[in-house]
Chains A and B, each alone.
Chain A
Protein backbone atom coordinates (compact mmCIF):
# COMPACT_ATOMS: atom_id res chain seq x y z
CA UNK A 1 0.00 0.00 0.00
CA UNK A 2 2.81 2.41 0.89
CA UNK A 3 4.43 1.52 -2.39
CA UNK A 4 1.29 2.29 -4.32
CA UNK A 5 0.92 5.63 -2.54
CA UNK A 6 4.44 6.63 -3.51
CA UNK A 7 3.83 5.67 -7.10
CA UNK A 8 0.63 7.68 -7.19
CA UNK A 9 2.46 10.75 -5.90
CA UNK A 10 5.24 10.48 -8.43
CA UNK A 11 4.50 11.85 -11.85
CA UNK A 12 6.69 12.09 -14.88
CA UNK A 13 6.58 15.86 -15.23
CA UNK A 14 5.67 19.08 -13.45
CA UNK A 15 2.55 19.14 -11.28
CA UNK A 16 0.48 22.29 -11.88
CA UNK A 17 -2.52 21.35 -9.76
CA UNK A 18 -2.98 18.99 -6.82
CA UNK A 19 -6.28 18.77 -4.97
CA UNK A 20 -8.21 16.39 -2.77
CA UNK A 21 -11.92 16.33 -3.64
CA UNK A 22 -13.72 15.59 -0.35
CA UNK A 23 -16.16 12.69 -0.22
CA UNK A 24 -19.39 13.45 -2.18
CA UNK A 25 -17.97 16.69 -3.65
CA UNK A 26 -17.11 17.84 -7.16
CA UNK A 27 -14.61 19.86 -9.17
CA UNK A 28 -14.35 21.34 -12.67
CA UNK A 29 -11.17 22.11 -14.61
CA UNK A 30 -9.77 22.65 -18.08
CA UNK A 31 -6.96 20.77 -19.79
CA UNK A 32 -4.91 21.90 -22.77
CA UNK A 33 -3.69 19.38 -25.33
CA UNK A 34 -0.82 17.40 -23.82
CA UNK A 35 -1.78 18.13 -20.21
CA UNK A 36 -2.48 15.12 -18.08
CA UNK A 37 -5.07 14.51 -15.41
CA UNK A 38 -4.38 11.87 -12.78
CA UNK A 39 -7.19 10.61 -10.55
CA UNK A 40 -5.99 8.82 -7.45
CA UNK A 41 -8.05 6.55 -5.25
CA UNK A 42 -6.98 7.56 -1.74
CA UNK A 43 -8.65 4.91 0.41
CA UNK A 44 -9.64 2.43 -2.31
CA UNK A 45 -13.03 1.34 -3.72
CA UNK A 46 -14.15 4.82 -4.72
CA UNK A 47 -15.24 5.81 -8.23
CA UNK A 48 -15.03 9.15 -10.02
CA UNK A 49 -17.67 10.21 -12.53
CA UNK A 50 -16.06 12.32 -15.24
CA UNK A 51 -17.68 14.40 -17.99
CA UNK A 52 -15.63 15.62 -20.95
CA UNK A 53 -16.54 18.44 -23.33
CA UNK A 54 -14.61 20.25 -26.05
CA UNK A 55 -13.78 23.71 -24.65
CA UNK A 56 -14.05 25.18 -28.15
CA UNK A 57 -17.52 23.72 -28.73
CA UNK A 58 -19.12 22.10 -25.68
CA UNK A 59 -21.78 20.48 -27.90
CA UNK A 60 -18.96 18.19 -28.99
CA UNK A 61 -18.93 16.20 -25.77
CA UNK A 62 -17.69 12.75 -24.86
CA UNK A 63 -19.63 9.82 -26.28
CA UNK A 64 -19.00 6.63 -24.35
CA UNK A 65 -20.82 4.71 -27.08
CA UNK A 66 -18.49 5.89 -29.83
CA UNK A 67 -15.59 5.40 -27.46
CA UNK A 68 -16.57 1.74 -27.15
CA UNK A 69 -17.15 1.26 -30.88
CA UNK A 70 -14.08 3.12 -32.13
CA UNK A 71 -11.79 1.34 -29.67
CA UNK A 72 -13.70 -1.89 -30.40
CA UNK A 73 -13.83 -2.52 -26.66
CA UNK A 74 -16.21 -2.08 -23.74
CA UNK A 75 -13.28 -2.43 -21.29
CA UNK A 76 -11.85 1.04 -21.79
CA UNK A 77 -8.42 1.33 -20.14
CA UNK A 78 -4.77 2.25 -20.81
CA UNK A 79 -4.09 2.54 -24.52
CA UNK A 80 -7.61 3.59 -25.41
CA UNK A 81 -8.87 7.00 -26.53
CA UNK A 82 -11.98 8.85 -25.34
CA UNK A 83 -13.91 10.04 -28.41
CA UNK A 84 -16.55 12.73 -28.74
CA UNK A 85 -20.01 12.51 -30.25
CA UNK A 86 -18.42 13.80 -33.49
CA UNK A 87 -15.76 11.10 -33.24
CA UNK A 88 -12.99 13.56 -32.35
CA UNK A 89 -10.31 12.38 -29.88
CA UNK A 90 -10.68 14.16 -26.52
CA UNK A 91 -8.16 12.29 -24.35
CA UNK A 92 -5.97 9.21 -24.28
CA UNK A 93 -5.81 6.97 -21.23
CA UNK A 94 -2.06 6.77 -20.70
CA UNK A 95 -1.99 4.94 -17.37
CA UNK A 96 -4.51 2.82 -15.45
CA UNK A 97 -3.36 0.73 -12.50
CA UNK A 98 -6.83 -0.81 -12.04
CA UNK A 99 -8.07 -1.62 -15.54
CA UNK A 100 -11.74 -1.58 -14.59
CA UNK A 101 -13.82 1.43 -15.65
CA UNK A 102 -17.36 1.94 -16.91
CA UNK A 103 -18.00 3.33 -20.37
CA UNK A 104 -21.69 2.44 -20.19
CA UNK A 105 -22.64 6.06 -19.46
CA UNK A 106 -24.95 7.87 -17.07
CA UNK A 107 -24.51 8.97 -13.49
CA UNK A 108 -26.48 8.58 -10.28
CA UNK A 109 -29.28 11.15 -10.08
CA UNK A 110 -32.07 12.31 -7.81
CA UNK A 111 -34.60 10.54 -10.04
CA UNK A 112 -32.63 7.28 -10.14
CA UNK A 113 -32.06 7.19 -6.39
CA UNK A 114 -35.76 7.77 -5.82
CA UNK A 115 -36.79 4.96 -8.17
CA UNK A 116 -34.07 2.44 -7.37
CA UNK A 117 -33.78 2.91 -3.62
CA UNK A 118 -36.90 4.88 -2.74
CA UNK A 119 -34.66 7.54 -1.17
CA UNK A 120 -35.24 11.21 -2.07
CA UNK A 121 -32.92 14.20 -1.57
CA UNK A 122 -29.63 12.33 -2.04
CA UNK A 123 -26.40 13.89 -3.17
CA UNK A 124 -25.83 12.62 -6.68
CA UNK A 125 -23.35 12.77 -9.54
CA UNK A 126 -25.73 14.49 -11.97
CA UNK A 127 -26.07 17.54 -9.71
CA UNK A 128 -22.36 17.39 -8.85
CA UNK A 129 -21.30 17.33 -12.50
CA UNK A 130 -23.65 20.19 -13.35
CA UNK A 131 -22.25 22.21 -10.44
CA UNK A 132 -18.68 21.34 -11.39
CA UNK A 133 -19.19 22.80 -14.87
CA UNK A 134 -21.56 25.67 -14.08
CA UNK A 135 -18.56 27.99 -13.67
CA UNK A 136 -17.72 27.37 -17.33
CA UNK A 137 -21.21 28.33 -18.49
CA UNK A 138 -22.30 24.74 -19.05
CA UNK A 139 -25.95 23.90 -18.47
CA UNK A 140 -27.32 20.63 -17.16
CA UNK A 141 -28.82 19.67 -20.53
CA UNK A 142 -25.33 19.88 -22.08
CA UNK A 143 -24.04 16.92 -20.07
CA UNK A 144 -26.15 14.04 -21.37
CA UNK A 145 -25.77 10.53 -20.02
CA UNK A 146 -23.43 9.51 -22.84
CA UNK A 147 -20.88 12.20 -21.89
CA UNK A 148 -19.92 10.44 -18.65
CA UNK A 149 -17.01 8.03 -18.14
CA UNK A 150 -16.65 6.49 -14.70
CA UNK A 151 -13.16 5.68 -13.48
CA UNK A 152 -12.94 2.42 -11.47
CA UNK A 153 -16.70 1.68 -11.66
CA UNK A 154 -17.13 -2.09 -11.86
CA UNK A 155 -20.13 -3.03 -14.01
CA UNK A 156 -20.45 -6.52 -15.45
CA UNK A 157 -21.54 -7.54 -18.94
CA UNK A 158 -21.85 -11.27 -18.30
CA UNK A 159 -22.55 -13.73 -21.11
CA UNK A 160 -25.88 -14.62 -19.50
CA UNK A 161 -26.91 -10.97 -19.73
CA UNK A 162 -26.26 -10.04 -16.10
CA UNK A 163 -25.47 -6.35 -15.81
CA UNK A 164 -24.77 -5.28 -12.25
CA UNK A 165 -22.75 -2.90 -10.15
CA UNK A 166 -20.05 -4.69 -8.14
CA UNK A 167 -17.69 -3.19 -5.54
CA UNK A 168 -14.66 -1.54 -7.17
CA UNK A 169 -11.39 -3.46 -7.16
CA UNK A 170 -9.32 -0.29 -6.79
CA UNK A 171 -6.97 -0.04 -3.81
CA UNK A 172 -5.39 2.92 -2.04
CA UNK A 173 -2.93 4.57 -4.41
CA UNK A 174 -4.43 3.18 -7.60
CA UNK A 175 -4.73 5.79 -10.32
CA UNK A 176 -5.75 6.51 -13.88
CA UNK A 177 -4.10 9.13 -16.11
CA UNK A 178 -5.70 10.92 -19.05
CA UNK A 179 -3.75 12.99 -21.58
CA UNK A 180 -5.85 15.65 -23.31
CA UNK A 181 -5.89 15.57 -27.11
CA UNK A 182 -7.88 18.81 -27.37
CA UNK A 183 -8.77 21.75 -25.14
CA UNK A 184 -11.32 20.14 -22.85
CA UNK A 185 -13.59 20.97 -19.95
CA UNK A 186 -13.68 18.19 -17.38
CA UNK A 187 -16.33 17.80 -14.71
CA UNK A 188 -15.44 15.51 -11.81
CA UNK A 189 -17.82 14.04 -9.26
CA UNK A 190 -16.44 12.03 -6.38
CA UNK A 191 -19.48 9.75 -6.53
CA UNK A 192 -21.62 10.24 -3.39
CA UNK A 193 -23.54 6.99 -3.87
CA UNK A 194 -23.83 4.92 -0.67
CA UNK A 195 -26.94 2.94 -1.55
CA UNK A 196 -25.27 0.35 -3.76
CA UNK A 197 -21.93 -1.41 -4.26
CA UNK A 198 -20.59 1.31 -6.59
CA UNK A 199 -18.31 2.73 -3.83
CA UNK A 200 -18.74 -0.32 -1.61
CA UNK A 201 -21.49 1.55 0.28
CA UNK A 202 -19.28 4.38 1.55
CA UNK A 203 -18.41 7.64 -0.20
CA UNK A 204 -14.73 8.55 0.16
CA UNK A 205 -12.43 11.37 -1.07
CA UNK A 206 -10.24 11.23 -4.19
CA UNK A 207 -7.18 13.17 -5.24
CA UNK A 208 -6.66 14.81 -8.61
CA UNK A 209 -3.45 16.13 -10.15
CA UNK A 210 -2.79 17.98 -13.37
CA UNK A 211 0.69 17.70 -14.79
CA UNK A 212 2.63 18.18 -17.98
CA UNK A 213 4.74 15.32 -19.08
CA UNK A 214 8.45 16.09 -18.63
Chain B
Protein backbone atom coordinates (compact mmCIF):
# COMPACT_ATOMS: atom_id res chain seq x y z
CA UNK B 1 0.00 0.00 0.00
CA UNK B 2 1.31 3.42 -0.92
CA UNK B 3 2.28 5.66 1.93
CA UNK B 4 -0.11 8.54 2.56
CA UNK B 5 -1.18 10.80 5.38
CA UNK B 6 -4.69 9.31 5.10
CA UNK B 7 -3.41 5.75 5.45
CA UNK B 8 -1.16 6.76 8.34
CA UNK B 9 -4.09 8.44 10.09
CA UNK B 10 -6.02 5.14 10.19
CA UNK B 11 -4.95 3.82 13.57
CA UNK B 12 -5.71 0.48 15.16
CA UNK B 13 -7.68 1.83 18.10
CA UNK B 14 -9.82 4.67 19.34
CA UNK B 15 -8.65 8.15 18.37
CA UNK B 16 -8.52 10.57 21.31
CA UNK B 17 -7.07 13.55 19.51
CA UNK B 18 -5.92 14.36 15.99
CA UNK B 19 -4.20 17.62 15.08
CA UNK B 20 -1.95 19.19 12.49
CA UNK B 21 0.78 21.27 14.14
CA UNK B 22 1.48 24.14 11.74
CA UNK B 23 5.05 24.73 10.58
CA UNK B 24 7.27 26.15 13.38
CA UNK B 25 4.55 25.64 16.02
CA UNK B 26 4.22 23.36 19.02
CA UNK B 27 1.80 21.41 21.12
CA UNK B 28 1.72 20.01 24.64
CA UNK B 29 -0.46 17.17 25.85
CA UNK B 30 -1.02 14.73 28.66
CA UNK B 31 -0.80 11.08 27.69
CA UNK B 32 -2.07 8.26 29.90
CA UNK B 33 -0.18 5.02 30.34
CA UNK B 34 -1.12 2.62 27.52
CA UNK B 35 -1.98 5.39 25.04
CA UNK B 36 -0.02 5.76 21.82
CA UNK B 37 1.11 8.94 20.11
CA UNK B 38 1.60 8.75 16.34
CA UNK B 39 3.57 11.48 14.57
CA UNK B 40 2.95 11.62 10.84
CA UNK B 41 4.99 13.25 8.08
CA UNK B 42 2.77 15.40 5.85
CA UNK B 43 5.22 16.76 3.29
CA UNK B 44 8.28 14.73 4.32
CA UNK B 45 11.73 15.78 5.59
CA UNK B 46 10.44 17.43 8.73
CA UNK B 47 11.55 16.54 12.26
CA UNK B 48 9.69 16.76 15.56
CA UNK B 49 11.49 17.53 18.81
CA UNK B 50 9.75 15.70 21.67
CA UNK B 51 10.20 16.05 25.42
CA UNK B 52 8.73 13.38 27.70
CA UNK B 53 8.20 14.09 31.42
CA UNK B 54 6.64 11.95 34.16
CA UNK B 55 3.23 13.59 34.74
CA UNK B 56 3.40 12.86 38.48
CA UNK B 57 7.01 13.91 39.04
CA UNK B 58 8.41 16.55 36.74
CA UNK B 59 11.98 15.90 37.88
CA UNK B 60 11.81 12.48 36.23
CA UNK B 61 12.30 13.01 32.54
CA UNK B 62 13.30 11.16 29.45
CA UNK B 63 17.02 10.44 29.31
CA UNK B 64 18.12 9.86 25.74
CA UNK B 65 21.52 8.99 27.14
CA UNK B 66 20.29 6.13 29.33
CA UNK B 67 17.93 5.08 26.54
CA UNK B 68 20.93 4.49 24.30
CA UNK B 69 23.04 2.81 26.99
CA UNK B 70 20.34 0.44 28.19
CA UNK B 71 19.29 -0.56 24.65
CA UNK B 72 22.95 -0.88 23.66
CA UNK B 73 22.36 1.14 20.50
CA UNK B 74 22.46 4.74 19.36
CA UNK B 75 20.03 4.00 16.51
CA UNK B 76 16.80 4.06 18.50
CA UNK B 77 13.80 2.83 16.51
CA UNK B 78 10.93 0.32 16.54
CA UNK B 79 11.28 -2.20 19.36
CA UNK B 80 13.28 0.07 21.65
CA UNK B 81 12.15 1.37 25.01
CA UNK B 82 13.01 4.92 25.97
CA UNK B 83 14.05 5.24 29.63
CA UNK B 84 13.79 8.04 32.16
CA UNK B 85 16.52 9.71 34.20
CA UNK B 86 15.56 7.16 36.89
CA UNK B 87 16.12 4.42 34.28
CA UNK B 88 12.45 3.43 34.33
CA UNK B 89 10.61 2.45 31.13
CA UNK B 90 8.88 5.56 29.86
CA UNK B 91 7.92 5.30 26.19
CA UNK B 92 8.20 2.42 23.77
CA UNK B 93 8.68 2.93 20.04
CA UNK B 94 6.12 0.44 18.72
CA UNK B 95 6.22 1.49 15.06
CA UNK B 96 8.65 3.47 12.94
CA UNK B 97 8.37 3.48 9.15
CA UNK B 98 11.55 5.55 8.73
CA UNK B 99 14.02 4.04 11.19
CA UNK B 100 16.05 7.23 11.44
CA UNK B 101 15.86 9.24 14.66
CA UNK B 102 18.25 11.25 16.78
CA UNK B 103 18.79 10.23 20.39
CA UNK B 104 21.76 12.49 21.08
CA UNK B 105 19.70 15.11 22.86
CA UNK B 106 19.30 18.90 22.71
CA UNK B 107 17.24 21.19 20.54
CA UNK B 108 17.83 24.37 18.57
CA UNK B 109 17.97 27.46 20.83
CA UNK B 110 18.33 31.23 20.53
CA UNK B 111 21.94 30.74 21.60
CA UNK B 112 22.73 28.09 19.00
CA UNK B 113 21.10 30.15 16.26
CA UNK B 114 23.15 33.14 17.34
CA UNK B 115 26.39 31.14 17.55
CA UNK B 116 25.94 29.22 14.33
CA UNK B 117 24.14 31.72 12.13
CA UNK B 118 24.63 35.09 13.83
CA UNK B 119 20.88 35.43 14.24
CA UNK B 120 19.26 34.99 17.68
CA UNK B 121 15.73 35.79 16.55
CA UNK B 122 14.37 32.81 14.63
CA UNK B 123 11.79 30.56 16.24
CA UNK B 124 13.52 27.71 18.07
CA UNK B 125 12.64 24.36 19.64
CA UNK B 126 13.79 25.37 23.14
CA UNK B 127 11.18 28.15 23.34
CA UNK B 128 8.59 25.98 21.61
CA UNK B 129 9.06 23.08 24.04
CA UNK B 130 9.05 25.40 27.06
CA UNK B 131 5.81 27.01 25.85
CA UNK B 132 4.25 23.63 25.06
CA UNK B 133 4.81 22.42 28.63
CA UNK B 134 4.21 25.68 30.56
CA UNK B 135 0.48 24.92 30.87
CA UNK B 136 1.37 21.87 32.99
CA UNK B 137 3.55 23.84 35.40
CA UNK B 138 6.81 22.60 33.90
CA UNK B 139 9.63 25.11 34.30
CA UNK B 140 12.01 25.97 31.49
CA UNK B 141 14.93 24.47 33.40
CA UNK B 142 13.08 21.15 33.58
CA UNK B 143 13.08 20.96 29.78
CA UNK B 144 16.61 19.60 29.81
CA UNK B 145 18.67 18.80 26.76
CA UNK B 146 18.78 15.09 27.44
CA UNK B 147 14.98 14.89 27.80
CA UNK B 148 14.56 15.50 24.08
CA UNK B 149 14.14 12.82 21.42
CA UNK B 150 14.00 13.98 17.83
CA UNK B 151 12.13 11.72 15.46
CA UNK B 152 13.23 11.51 11.81
CA UNK B 153 16.30 13.66 12.48
CA UNK B 154 19.37 12.46 10.57
CA UNK B 155 22.59 12.97 12.50
CA UNK B 156 25.72 11.19 11.34
CA UNK B 157 28.12 9.61 13.83
CA UNK B 158 30.74 8.58 11.31
CA UNK B 159 33.66 6.29 12.17
CA UNK B 160 36.06 9.19 11.50
CA UNK B 161 34.36 11.19 14.26
CA UNK B 162 32.21 13.41 12.05
CA UNK B 163 29.02 14.45 13.81
CA UNK B 164 26.75 16.41 11.51
CA UNK B 165 23.15 17.14 10.70
CA UNK B 166 21.96 15.71 7.41
CA UNK B 167 18.76 15.88 5.37
CA UNK B 168 15.95 13.64 6.74
CA UNK B 169 14.90 10.68 4.62
CA UNK B 170 11.26 10.67 5.79
CA UNK B 171 8.50 10.89 3.16
CA UNK B 172 4.85 11.96 3.25
CA UNK B 173 2.85 9.33 5.18
CA UNK B 174 5.82 8.05 7.20
CA UNK B 175 5.12 7.81 10.90
CA UNK B 176 6.43 6.79 14.32
CA UNK B 177 4.39 5.49 17.28
CA UNK B 178 5.28 6.13 20.91
CA UNK B 179 3.44 4.03 23.52
CA UNK B 180 3.39 5.47 27.05
CA UNK B 181 4.55 3.20 29.87
CA UNK B 182 3.69 5.80 32.51
CA UNK B 183 1.44 8.85 32.65
CA UNK B 184 3.29 11.47 30.68
CA UNK B 185 3.47 15.10 29.73
CA UNK B 186 4.62 15.46 26.15
CA UNK B 187 6.02 18.61 24.57
CA UNK B 188 6.25 18.60 20.78
CA UNK B 189 8.03 21.17 18.65
CA UNK B 190 7.59 21.05 14.90
CA UNK B 191 11.19 22.13 14.49
CA UNK B 192 11.35 25.66 12.99
CA UNK B 193 14.99 25.37 11.92
CA UNK B 194 15.53 26.52 8.33
CA UNK B 195 19.24 27.31 8.45
CA UNK B 196 20.58 23.77 8.23
CA UNK B 197 19.62 20.42 6.62
CA UNK B 198 17.68 19.34 9.76
CA UNK B 199 14.36 19.97 7.92
CA UNK B 200 16.00 20.31 4.51
CA UNK B 201 16.02 24.11 4.96
CA UNK B 202 12.23 24.48 5.12
CA UNK B 203 9.96 24.20 8.18
CA UNK B 204 6.81 22.22 7.46
CA UNK B 205 3.76 21.01 9.43
CA UNK B 206 3.43 17.61 11.11
CA UNK B 207 0.35 15.72 12.19
CA UNK B 208 -0.15 13.76 15.39
CA UNK B 209 -2.81 11.24 16.37
CA UNK B 210 -3.25 10.23 20.02
CA UNK B 211 -5.04 6.89 20.34
CA UNK B 212 -5.62 3.89 22.55
A contact residues vs B (CB 8 Å cutoff) = 59, 63, 65-66, 68-75, 85-88, 104-106, 109, 111-112, 114-116, 141, 144-146, 157, 159, 161-165
User: Are B145 and A104 in contact, with the CB atoms below 8 A?
Assistant: no
Most B CB within 10 A of own CB, among A73, A116, A159: A73
A157 to B72, CA, bound (A): 10
Residues of B within 8 A of A70 (CB): 115-116
Residues of A within 8 A of B105 (CB): 65, 105, 145-146
Q: How many A-B residue pairs have CB under 8 A?
A: 101
User: Are A162 and B73 in contact, with the CB atoms below 8 A?
Assistant: yes
B contact residues vs A (CB 8 Å cutoff) = 59, 63, 65-66, 68-75, 83, 85-88, 104-106, 109, 111-112, 114-116, 141, 144-146, 157, 159, 161-165
A116 to B146, CA, bound (A): 19
Q: Which residue of A lies closest to B112 (CB)?
A: A87
User: Are B145 and A87 in contact, with the CB atoms below 8 A?
Assistant: no
A86 to B126, CA, bound (A): 11
User: Are B75 and A161 in contact, with the CB atoms below 8 A?
Assistant: yes
User: Are B164 and A72 in contact, with the CB atoms below 8 A?
Assistant: yes
Residues of A within 8 A of B163 (CB): 68-69, 71-74
User: Are A144 and B145 in contact, with the CB atoms below 8 A?
Assistant: yes
User: Are A163 and B146 in contact, with the CB atoms below 8 A?
Assistant: no
A66 to B155, CA, bound (A): 13
A73 to B162, CA, bound (A): 5
User: Are A66 and B112 in contact, with the CB atoms below 8 A?
Assistant: yes
Name the distance in Å between B204's Cβ and chain A's nearest Cβ: 22
Residues of A within 8 A of B146 (CB): 65, 105-106, 144-146
User: Are A163 and B73 in contact, with the CB atoms below 8 A?
Assistant: yes
Name the distance in Å between B207's Cβ and chain A's nearest Cβ: 27
Residues of B within 8 A of A104 (CB): 65, 68, 104
Q: A63-B106, A65-B106, A161-B75 are in contact. Are A112 and B66 (CB under 8 A)?
A: yes
User: Are B59 and A163 in contact, with the CB atoms below 8 A?
Assistant: no
User: Are B74 and A63 in contact, with the CB atoms below 8 A?
Assistant: no
Name the distance in Å between B53's Cβ and chain A's nearest Cβ: 13
Q: A74-B157, A106-B63, A106-B65 are in contact. Are A157 and B74 (CB under 8 A)?
A: yes
A115 to B114, CA, bound (A): 40
Q: List 22 A-B contacts (CB under 8 A).
A: A65-B105, A65-B145, A66-B112, A69-B106, A70-B115, A72-B163, A73-B161, A73-B163, A75-B161, A85-B111, A85-B145, A87-B116, A105-B146, A109-B87, A112-B66, A114-B87, A145-B105, A145-B144, A146-B105, A157-B74, A161-B74, A164-B72
